[in-house]
């Protein structure tokens, strides 16, 4: 975080970077959140044929909603499959 601005930078976007992104700001008197959907499309030179045994990423196990007290640890786990194996 720099001043009052925070950012998530994706230096080289891939199709698997597509998704729903959310940021939450909290202080002693409340919280605020904003979110967006990011769609990354494959360029024609990067598209792989599903006829050749390739498959797009698919989540087999996804995040669960979590509620925890301030200071507690939180681990979010997801399992993804695809061919070639997706970068996460």
CA gap 42, 48 in Å, rounded:
9
What is the radius of gyration, based on Cα positions, of the chain?
17
- DSSP category for residue 17: G
Residue 82 pLDDT > 60? yes
- DSSP category for residue 23: E
Return the pLDDT at 40. Answer: 83
**Segment 65-74, tens digit of pLDDT:** 777 677 777 7
**Segment 5-35, tens digit of pLDDT:** 777 788 888 888 888 888 888 888 888 888 8
Q: Contact, 81 vs 61, CB < 8 A?
A: no
């Amino acid at each position: 975080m720099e001043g009052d601005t925070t950012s998530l930078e994706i230096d080289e976007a891939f199709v698997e970077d597509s998704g729903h992104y959310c940021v939450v700001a909290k202080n002693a008197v409340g919280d605020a959140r904003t979110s967006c959907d990011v769609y990354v499309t494959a360029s024609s030179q990067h598209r792989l044929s599903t006829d050749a045994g390739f498959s797009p990423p698919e989540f087999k196990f996804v995040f669960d909603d979590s509620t925890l007290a301030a200071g507690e640890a939180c681990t979010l786990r997801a399992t993804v499959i695809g061919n070639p194996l997706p970068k996460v």
